[in-house]
Structure 1
Amino acid sequence: MTRSLGPMLDFFLREKGELVHINGMRQLALIQDATNTIQMTDEKIIRAATPLHTGDIVDYRDERYLTTSQVDRNEKSCRGRMKKCNQRLALNWNGQVEWFDTVVEARTFSTETGKVISMPEGNIMVSLQDNADTRGITLSQRFYMTHQSFKVTGIDRTMNGIILLSCTLDSINTAYDDVENNIVDRWKYEIAHTYALHIHQGTIAHVPLNETIQLNVTATDNGNEIANPTITYISSDPSVISVDQQGQVMGIALGQASITAKLTYHLTVRSTIELRVVKTGTHIYSIAIIGNSVLKTGQSASYVSHIYDHGTEVFNQSVEWSLRNQDGSTPIMGSITASAGNCVTVKAGSSSGADNKALVLTATLVSDPSITTEKNISLKNLF
Structure 2
Amino acid sequence: MTRSLEPMIDFFLREKGEPVHINGVRQLVLIQDATNTIQMTDEKIIRAATPLHTGDSVDYRDERYLITSQVDRNEKSCRGRMRKCNQSLALNWNGKVRCFDAVVEARTFSMETGKVISITEGNILVSLQDNADTRGITLSQRFYMTHQPFKVTGIDRTMNGIIQLSCTLDSINTAYDDVEHNIADKWKYETAHTYALHINQGTIAHVLLNETIQLNVSAADNGNEIANPAITYTSSDPSVISVDQQGQVMGIALGQASITAKLTYHPAVQSTIEMRVVETGTHIYSIAITGNPILKTGQSASYVSHIYDHGVEVFDQSVEWSLRNQDDSTPTKGIITTSTGNSVTIKAGSSSGENNKALALTATLVSDPSMSAEKNISLKNLF
- Shorter-chain-normalised TM-score: which range? 0.7 to 0.9
Structure with bigger gyration radius: 2
Q: CA deviation at 1:163?
A: 1.5
Could you state the TM-score of these two structures normalised by the residue count of structure 2? 0.76
3-state SS in 1 of match to 2:10: helix
Task: Give the letter aligned to residue 262 of structure 1.
Answer: L
The partner residue of 1:7 within 4, 11, 33 is 11
Give the direction of change, closer, same or farther, for the CA distance of 1:79–1:36 in structure 2 (3 Å limit).
Answer: same
* Counterpart position of 2:134: 134
Using the alignment, how far apart are the partners of 1:184 and 1:244 within structure 2?
42
- Paired positions, count: 368
Q: Is the 8 A contact 1:54 1:67 kept in 2?
A: yes
Equivalent runs, 1:198-217 vs 2, <5 Å:
198-208=198-208, 210-217=210-217
Distance 1:347 1:259 in 2: 32
- SS of residue matched to 2:370: coil
Identity between Structure 1 and Structure 2 (%): 74
Distance in 2, Cα, partners of 1:306 & 1:232: 27
Residue of structure 2 in register with 1:99 after alignment? 99
Task: Provide the C-alpha distance between the structure 1 equivalents of 2:177 and 2:234, rounded to a whole number of angstroms.
Answer: 34
**Structure 2 CA distance, aligned partners of 1:89 and 1:67?**
21
User: What amino acid is the match of 1:362?
Assistant: T
SS at match of 2:140: coil
Structure 2 partner of 1:345? 345
* Contact persistence 2:87–2:103 (CA under 8 A): yes
Does structure 2 retain, via aligned residues, the 8 Å contact 1:72–1:80?
no
Q: In 1, are the aligned partners of 2:89 and 2:102 still within 8 Å (CA)?
A: yes
Tell me what 1:112 maps to. none
**1:68, 1:336 → 2: CA distance?**
69
Question: Retained in 1: the 8 A contact 2:195–2:269?
Answer: no
Question: Displacement, 1:167?
Answer: 1.3
Structure 1 residues 33 and 5, CA gap change in structure 2 (3 angstroms): closer
Encode CA deviations 1:156-207: one digit per residue, 9 max, x unaligned: 2233322121112334445555555544445555555443333222334344
The CA deviation string for residues 125-175 of structure 1, in whole angstroms up to 9 with x for no partner, is 222221111111121223344554432101122333221211123344455
What is the CA deviation profile of residues 255-311 of structure 1, one whole-angstrom value per residue up to 9, with x for unaligned ones?
A: 4234131152xx166122134352453544443333333333221122233444555
Q: How far has the Cα of 1:362 moved from its partner?
A: 1.8
Distance 1:32 1:210, change over 3 A: farther
Matches within 5 A, 1:370-381: 370-381=370-381
What's 1:113 paired with? none
Q: 1:123 — aligned with what? A: 123
**Does the Cα contact within 8 Å between 2:90 and 2:97 map onto a contact in 1?**
no
SS in 1 for 2:201: coil
Aligned-pair distance for 1:44? Answer: 6.1
After the TM superposition, which residues 1-383 of structure 1 pair with which residues of structure 2 at under 5 Å, given as runs?
Answer: 4-13=8-17, 17=18, 21-26=21-26, 51-59=51-59, 64-70=64-70, 75=76, 80-92=81-93, 94-107=94-107, 120-173=120-173, 177=177, 181-208=181-208, 210-235=210-235, 241-251=241-251, 254-264=255-265, 267=266, 270-276=269-275, 278-281=277-280, 282-309=282-309, 313-383=313-383
Distance 1:5 1:150, change over 3 A: closer
C-alpha contact 1:69 1:82 (8 A) present in aligned 2? no
Cα root mean square deviation, aligned = 4.0
Structure 1 distance, partners of 2:63, 2:251, is 47
Q: 1:56 to 1:248 in 2, by over 3 A?
A: farther
User: Within 1, Cα distance between the matches of 2:97 and 2:283?
Assistant: 55
- Contact 1:358–1:379 (CA<8 Å) still a contact in 2? yes
- Go from structure 1 to structure 2 and tell me whether the alpha carbon gap of 1:163 and 1:317 turns closer, same or farther (over 3 Å shift): farther
Distance 2:316 2:63 in 1: 65
Per-residue Cα deviation, 1:297-345 (whole angstroms, up to 9, x for no partner) = 2211222334445555554443221112344444322211112233221
Letter in 2 for 1:287: I
Contact 2:204 2:273 in 1 (8 A): yes
Letter of the 1:224 counterpart = N
- Helix, strand or coil at the partner of 2:261: strand
> Where does structure 2 lack aligned partners over 5 or more consecutive residues?
110-117
Per-residue deviation at 1:62? Answer: 5.7
Q: Aligned with 1:4: secondary structure? A: helix
Cα distance in 1 between the residues matched to 2:60 and 2:252: 49
Q: What 5-or-longer segments of structure 1 have no aligned partner?
A: 110-117
The alpha-carbon distance between structure 1 residues 247 and 31, as it changes in their structure 2 partners (threshold 3 A), is farther
